[in-house]
Amino acid sequence: MGRCKRAVGVLAVVALLSLVFAGVGCQQGRQGGGAGHFDYERIELANGLEVITLEDFSCPIVAVQVWYHVGSKDEQPDRQGFAHMFEHMMFRGTDKLGPTDHFGFIRRVGGTTNGYTSFDRTVYLETLPADQLELALWLEAERMAFLKIDQEAFDTERRVVEEERRMGLSEPYGTVFERLLEQIYQVHPYRWPPIGKISHLRAASVQELRDFWTKNYVPSNATLIIVGAVEHEDAQDMARKYFGWIPRYARPPQVDIAEPGANIFFGDYQSTFFGQFQNNTNIYTAVRYSF
């Protein structure tokens, strides 16, 4: 069962990455097929939510991912860490779900769930039995529409993020990532890491968090991926059922900041950095995510 979960999870990631690197358009209908390509389908709901489906009946499980196209680059310079905060806050529940219910419901049916944040995106994922697909979709739609954002949840998750931050800084080469970013980027918001700053989070208000969530965590700024033992039509029908009722909101403006001299820097030094630091996990990770 563990191998099946990993296989479908990898397919879910590869399905989306194949779109990113192929530069596929947004038209509805069957997009994949052919030699070397996944036979995925891609539609867009009326509220702007992009839905990508891929059939794989090799295991009786499904992988569900929701990619919000918001990351640390979309934060204000004096409020670094908001996207990472919502990686945590999105598990805190709604008026119908308690602060541990998302994990509890998924684990109860033998599934797993998690999330991560990067410069450009915040991603939530579940892997679970195929006959429990609707549970994952309901949970994702519930927090997309009704996330509970209050002082108690903020204080609790901020303490978790602060400890995560302190642990990272105390590791060998723990500050190298940030120092590299500051040298590589002078203007672009890639110059700070997704983890955030403790002082900025302590200075933030609950209303600022609500405003960030209201602006960025909307259907038109998200991609839903369903991969596994479910037919395209059934998966798309379930996506419409659980997400289609959510109103359409304006997609937030994309960051459009040019870094002076970026192309020259990348061309001259990228291969040198990779070769020099690939044996050190911390430094290699910093360089890898910086390019």
Pairing of strands 222-228, 50-55: parallel
Ordered domains of the chain (ranges, CATH): 2-260 (3.30.830.10), 261-291 (no CATH)
Q: Does residue 7 contact residue 59 with C-beta atoms inside 8 Å?
A: yes
Gyration radius (Cα) of the chain, Å: 20
Overall pTM surpassing 0.95 (yes/no): no
Residues 6+ apart with CB under 8 A from 176: 282, 283, 286
**Contact yes or no for 148/162 (Cβ under 8 A):** no
- Separation of alpha carbons 226 and 40, rounded Å: 10
Tokens of 192: 């700070």
- Looking only at the bridges linking them, the beta strands covering 61-68 and 50-55 are unpaired
Residue pLDDT tens, the chain, 291 long: 455 555 555 455 444 444 443 433 334 455 555 556 789 999 999 999 999 999 999 999 999 999 999 999 999 999 999 999 999 999 999 999 999 999 999 999 999 999 999 999 999 999 999 999 999 999 999 999 999 999 999 999 999 999 988 888 888 888 888 888 888 898 999 999 999 899 999 999 999 999 999 999 999 999 999 999 999 999 999 999 999 999 999 999 989 888 886 543 444 444 334 334 334 444 333 333 333
Return d(Cα 113, Cα 72) in angstroms, integer: 22
Helix (H, G, I), strand (E, B) or coil at 118: coil
Alpha-carbon span 81 to 71, nearest angstrom: 9
